[in-house]
Amino acid sequence: MSDFGKLNYINVGPHGTFKPSGDLKTSPGDIDAIFAHLTASNADRLSVHFHGGLVAEGKGLRIAESMFPVYTSAGAHAVSFIWETGLIETLWRNLTAISETKLFQKLLRYAIRELTKRLGADLTGRGEGVPMSLPEIEAELEKLEKFEGFDATARGGAARLDEEELEFIRDEMELDLLLEIEQDEAFGELADNLSAEDTKLRPSVANELNTADGRGPTLFKIAKLLASVVFRVLRRYIRGRDHGLYPTVVEELVREFYLDDFGGWVWGNMKDVSAQMFLSNTGPISDASHPGTYFLERLAAHQAANPGFAVDLIGHSAGSIAICNLFRSLEKSGIALSVRNVVFLAPACTTRLMHDEVVARPERYKRFRMFTMSDAYEQKDHLVKGVYTRSLLYLISGVLEEEADTPIAGMERFWTAQAPFDVPHLAKTATWLQEADKNRAVMSVTTDQAPGLNSTAQKHGDFDNDDPTRASLTALVAET
């Protein structure tokens, strides 16, 4: 087996170009060298791996080196695309920083208190409509699994609520919240000194609160914004789109008070880079050209000259978005490429994108397989301990995408094909993934199955280092 080196990775620079982005740089000549090696070595298969677009350059290189033996042991040449954004670090840092502010902690407690009053269920054991006391809320917040014992009761109560009536009680909720926070002297002192604390608020919200004329107007504006949070959480419960009481409150607080500086822009930029690396190249190939497209052109030419040359595409997390954009690029440019396996590991692409580029286009590949966690494990995979009690995919669905609870391809939650997830593209994707005897979805934890059908990853980031998943990838690539 040869050693890992520049023949085994392609670094994508700023705006999806060959330009260097750090210590790594891939040139057009480096890609030429990959195909010269494929010809000289008489390789008959190639595995192209896209790591999640959430990591920094150094980690991307380490992942590429880690995946190298998975594919080479199956007789394939391995090439990994390294495209870094550092999003996971940004999300962890921002969630932690926001949660440490006094304002967030106050907002969280009063939103939960109002919700326990409005959810239409007896969450306290003292009758419907009786809110939890602040000490009771504190006790739940101290737990690792926060408010988990309340979710079934809350959903049952929400089923008796009428969405049309929510608008009519919005003013009432604002008044309730205003009266509550006005009685909290610590909240009042906080409102008097918002500019003294690094609140992490989105600029528009910070400006609105900081320019209020006195404590009363400031608290009124906070109550109004907080009522909007409670309103949206209630609406999500009524529609069956909540992620559990505590996670949903955190998501809606972030959306209302913090989103601009939270990480949404990094997520959007990451998706842009995943598409830009496959933009058309015009004029002489240079640092401003797009390595993904140059690679595809060389790969298609190599495959045409070597009939039967197998190409497998593997994408972890946001790497699935890159593969979908690869398929779009092939179609737009007219590049003819035969793909054998498409493998998604805990895909972070939307279900709509996967449906349009994979499910509805079976002529583009010979076989599809997804490895992902069951929803039970997805809920146990806490992205930030003590702060956000769901997985990265839950956060993407609940916060980073434009619509709260956007269906994400790797989330079993959206595979019911029943309301509220019965719209055509969701139902078709769910049915397609779970079609009998097709083995398109391997749910972790699955063991003792045939080669290529096992996974024990219990965290979103584990799929590229989980031994049964890695063995399954090797088995898939080794097949003739």
Which pLDDT belongs to residue 120? 77
290-324 per-position pLDDT tens digit: 999 999 999 999 999 999 999 999 999 999 999 99
Cα–Cα distance for residue pair 213/219, rounded to 1 Å: 10
Cβ pair 357, 328 in contact under 8 A? yes
User: And the tokens for 96?
Assistant: 């932690």
58-99 per-position pLDDT tens digit: 888 999 999 999 999 999 999 999 987 666 777 888 889 899
Measured in whole angstroms, the distance separating CA 276 from the mean position of its chain's CA atoms is 19
Cβ pair 379, 148 in contact under 8 A? no
Cα–Cα distance for residue pair 369/273, rounded to 1 Å: 25
Which pLDDT belongs to residue 432? 98
Cα–Cα distance for residue pair 35/79, rounded to 1 Å: 11
Residue with tokens 């926070």, as numbered in its chain: 181
Cα–Cα distance for residue pair 90/426, rounded to 1 Å: 30
Q: pLDDT class for 57, splitting at 50, 70, 90?
A: confident
Nearest of 78, 431, 113, 354 to residue 245 by alpha carbon:
113
This prediction's pTM: 0.95
> 384 pairs with which residues across the strands?
388
259-274 per-position pLDDT tens digit: 765 666 678 888 888 9
Query: How many degrees, rounded to 5, is the angle at CA 469 between CA 310 and CA 353?
Result: 65
